[in-house]
Amino acid sequence: MEPFLSYHDIKKEKITNLERMTDKQALIQTEALLRATKWFTTQNSKPETKLMKLTKFKNEPYTDWSKPANRKKQELAIAKIEKQFGKEYPNIIGGEKLTAKEKLHSLNPSNPNQVVGVFQKGTVDDALKALKVAEKKFAEWSKVPPAKRADYLFKAAKIMRKRRFESNATMIIEVGKNWMEADGDTAEAIDFLEFYGREMLRYADQKAAVQLPGEKDEVVYIPLGVGIVIPPWNFPFAILAGMTTAAVVAGNTVILKPSSDSPLTGMRFMEVMEEAGLPAGVINFVAGPGSAVGDTLIKHPKSRFIAFTGSKEVGIHINTEAAKVLPGQIWLKRVVAEMGGKDSIIVDSEANFEEAVAGVTVSAFGFQGQKCSACSRAIVDAKIYDKFVAALKKRVDAIPVGEAKDLSNYMGPVINKGAMENIMRYIEVAQKEGGKLVSGGVRASEDGYFIRPTVIANVEPKATISQEEIFGPVLAVIKAKNFDHALEIANNTEYGLTGAVYSKNKKKIERARTEFHVGNLYLNRKCTGAMVGAHPFGGFNMSGTDSKAGGRDYLLLFLQAKSIATKIK
Ligand code: NAD
């Protein structure tokens, strides 16, 4: 996609690009650029705003672990988190740090005897208080100029870079991400902040498509109100930060309910925003059970929108409850719901075989298969099926599994005991339904929630493990008669999140572009690892509302457009 222009680049870009345009295009472009420059200068000239200088958006690079200095810093950050085990953290409402009678314990899934942090089990009263505070704050925050709101995100991104090893360490310990995955999560959070900040600047400078004679015709994008943000535990920093800051930069205030499996990572985000100087009450942090706190927030007539990422079941529940109009409610709530996946990789007979085996392995077992984008079905052409299963087994059997804090482990634990038992149950069901266990199928150790990466072959397209989201390190390998059959299988679930095709045949690739019904399609590459800006993320059907996080349409979900026509003569 086109990189963003900083307002400082405008002049340079104007000269280079104008040469390639028609006169009419050039005129329109010049007007837009001049308007943007003028607008930014006005914003920037206010002495109290002191906005940061903007550069072009660029994805955040990953940490180079081959450098001993980086490894040392990460080890020290992990040791620091371990020293803080058992520490208690408050809920934060309007900047006030509050405790509750009952507590939530966040555990280390690599070693569940370790209490990573003690959190407050927020109550219905806490949820109501947060709603009141957020509603009051909205009146003020919604009037803060967009450029200043964006600037808080740019400042926060800078702080995240500085505190990178700390957020990485928190995820390594709290949810069992390996170092690379944790670092990718932090990098994605930084990307979201940088991207949405720039997006807000773009939305703040829109113009009506047509100017009627004798009128000034404008479209201004204004915020919605109080939003409820409900993230999952699996991208506990990036998704939480992305949903929250998109809502906030658009001028809304937010009540953030972190997942009970990853509240410390959520707290790390709150610390960053506090350090960035975000006014109290713009983001209110209320940990607590989804059933009590979450439902109160969602069902309340004053909540204006809900940004949710999580399972299909909870997403449907939220969508259903949010649709009910309650006494005193003067709007239809907006629901942004990103839900589960049952993602497939098609391996065609004409694929680059080695690349396909590697791509399937990484997509299926990165972060223990606990990504909504994870490959849980490899659909392999019958001509190469046996060879593929054998090559896959060789690779998967060699995957090291163990404590996430040890850099040499590619796979860590699954998130909690319930998830572990559920995954083991699916492995049993798969075999009862005729699946052949090729690799794994057992726990890797009894100390934490470790499961060996599991490959099950001979899975029927309609078998349970081919249809239901397992959300763990279990891969079904399905045999397809040919490419038509492979596409038919790939589209046979209720989901439509990610998918990939490995084939050197251009015609087949072309067919996949139109016939493979997923929100994020990858051709001749893995189906995980969406990058902000390049791969706007979100799925079809029961995978959610196709919000396209990290894309240019995303901020619109947190805004409403107001058309203003002024008669000028
Ligand atoms: P989950 O649905 O169990 O929980 C998600 C969030 O909802 C948590 O914060 C939880 O506390 C909260 N919640 C639970 N019940 C609630 C209720 N009644 N009211 C309000 N909130 C409630 O999901 P999870 O286990 O945290 O995450 C894994 C799921 O998320 C998987 O299905 C995965 O595919 C999905 N996911 C989707 C995407 C995407 O972009 N589509 C990204 C990441 C994860």
Cβ 422 under 6 angstroms from ligand 1: no
If asked whether residues 168 and 122 sit together in one domain, one would say yes
Of 179, 168, 175, the residue nearest 406 (C-alpha) = 179
| Domain-embedded: residue 122 | yes
Cβ 340 under 6 angstroms from ligand 1: yes
If asked whether residues 510 and 443 sit together in one domain, one would say yes
Q: Ligand 1 pocket test: which of 230, 300, 495 has the largest number of ligand atoms within 8 Å of its C-beta? A: 230
Single-letter amino acid code for the residue at 433: E
Cβ 372 under 6 angstroms from ligand 1: yes
Nearest CA to ligand 1 atom 16: 290
Of 361, 466, 363, 367, the residue nearest 411 (C-alpha) = 367
Number of Cβ within a 10 Å radius of residue 159: 17
Cβ 294 under 6 angstroms from ligand 1: yes
Q: Are strands 520-523 and 498-502 parallel, antiparallel or unpaired?
A: parallel
* Average pLDDT estimate for 31-42: 44
Cβ 309 under 6 angstroms from ligand 1: yes
Position with higher pLDDT, 332 vs 16: 332
If asked whether residues 334 and 383 sit together in one domain, one would say no
Residue 24 has pLDDT above 90, yes or no: no
Under the banding of pLDDT at 50, 70 and 90, the label for residue 569 is confident
**Helix, strand or coil for residue 105?**
strand
Cβ 259 under 6 angstroms from ligand 1: yes
| Domain-embedded: residue 492 | yes
Assessment of whether the complete model's pTM goes beyond 0.75: yes
The CATH number given to whatever domain includes residue 191 is 3.40.605.10
| Domain-embedded: residue 536 | no
Cβ 188 under 6 angstroms from ligand 1: no
If asked whether residues 228 and 372 sit together in one domain, one would say no
Of 384, 390, 358, 378, the residue nearest 478 (C-alpha) = 378
Backbone angles phi, psi at 517, to 5 degrees: -90, 85
| Domain-embedded: residue 325 | yes
pLDDT tens by residue, 161-205: 999 999 999 999 999 999 999 999 999 999 999 999 999 999 998
Show Cβ contacts of residue 143 under 8 Å, excluding neighbours closer than 6 positions: none
Residue 44 has pLDDT above 80, yes or no: no
Nearest CA to ligand 1 atom 13: 290
The pLDDT value given to residue 206? 86
Under the banding of pLDDT at 50, 70 and 90, the label for residue 50 is low
| Domain-embedded: residue 400 | yes
If asked whether residues 21 and 137 sit together in one domain, one would say no
Rounded CA-CA distance 443/380 in Å is: 27
What is the 3-class SS of 242-279, one letter each residue?
A: HHHHHHHHCCCEEEECCCCCCHHHHHHHHHHHHHCCCC
Q: Write down the H helix ranges in 312-416.
A: 312-322, 353-365, 385-397
The pLDDT value given to residue 143? 98
The pLDDT value given to residue 91? 98
Domain containing residue 269 = 74-339+547-566
Rounded CA-CA distance 490/376 in Å is: 11
Residue 42 has pLDDT above 80, yes or no: no
* Average pLDDT estimate for 399-413: 97
pLDDT-above-70 percentage for the chain = 91
Q: Are 465 and 441 in contact (CB under 8 A)?
A: no
If asked whether residues 475 and 554 sit together in one domain, one would say no
The CATH number given to whatever domain includes residue 457 is 3.40.309.10
The tokens for 380 are 């392999």
How far is ligand 1, taken at its centre, from the CA of residue 308, in Å?
7
| Domain-embedded: residue 539 | no
Cβ 242 under 6 angstroms from ligand 1: no
| Domain-embedded: residue 275 | yes
Cβ 310 under 6 angstroms from ligand 1: yes
Q: Write down the H helix ranges in 366-416.
A: 385-397
CA-based torsion, 481, 483, 486, 487: positive or negative: negative
Under the banding of pLDDT at 50, 70 and 90, the label for residue 12 is very low
The pLDDT value given to residue 46? 46
pLDDT tens by residue, 64-113: 999 999 999 999 999 999 999 999 999 999 999 999 999 999 999 999 99
How far is ligand 1, taken at its centre, from the CA of residue 452, in Å?
24
Show Cβ contacts of residue 253 under 8 Å, excluding neighbours closer than 6 positions: 134, 135, 137, 138, 141, 225, 226, 227, 281, 282, 283, 284
Q: Ligand 1 pocket test: which of 314, 318, 493 has the largest number of ligand atoms within 8 Å of its C-beta? A: 314
How far is ligand 1, taken at its centre, from the CA of residue 336, in Å?
13
The residues assigned a catalytic role are 338, 372
pLDDT tens by residue, 256-310: 999 999 999 999 999 999 999 999 999 999 999 888 899 999 999 999 999 999 9
Strand partners, 107: 115
If asked whether residues 323 and 389 sit together in one domain, one would say no
Single-letter amino acid code for the residue at 154: F
If asked whether residues 309 and 412 sit together in one domain, one would say no
As for how many domains the chain has, the answer is: 3
Nearest CA to ligand 1 atom 40: 338
Cβ 414 under 6 angstroms from ligand 1: no
How far is ligand 1, taken at its centre, from the CA of residue 403, in Å?
24
**Mean confidence (pLDDT) of the chain:** 92
| Domain-embedded: residue 553 | yes
Q: Are 384 and 356 in contact (CB under 8 A)?
A: no
If asked whether residues 160 and 255 sit together in one domain, one would say yes
One DSSP character per residue, 145-171 reads -HHHHHHHHHHHHHHHHHTHHHHHHHH
If asked whether residues 313 and 238 sit together in one domain, one would say yes
Rounded CA-CA distance 226/203 in Å is: 20
Nearest CA to ligand 1 atom 6: 232
Which uninterrupted H or E stretch holds 78?
Answer: helix 68-83
Index of the ligand 1 atom closest to the CA of residue 544: 41
Lowest-pLDDT range of 7-11, 143-147, 262-266: 7-11
* Average pLDDT estimate for 457-467: 98
If asked whether residues 399 and 349 sit together in one domain, one would say yes
How far is ligand 1, taken at its centre, from the CA of residue 415, in Å?
13
How far is ligand 1, taken at its centre, from the CA of residue 310, in Å?
2
Rounded CA-CA distance 385/411 in Å is: 26
How far is ligand 1, taken at its centre, from the CA of residue 294, in Å?
11
Lowest-pLDDT range of 18-27, 75-84, 146-155, 288-297: 18-27
* Average pLDDT estimate for 127-150: 98
The pLDDT value given to residue 51? 65
If asked whether residues 136 and 235 sit together in one domain, one would say yes
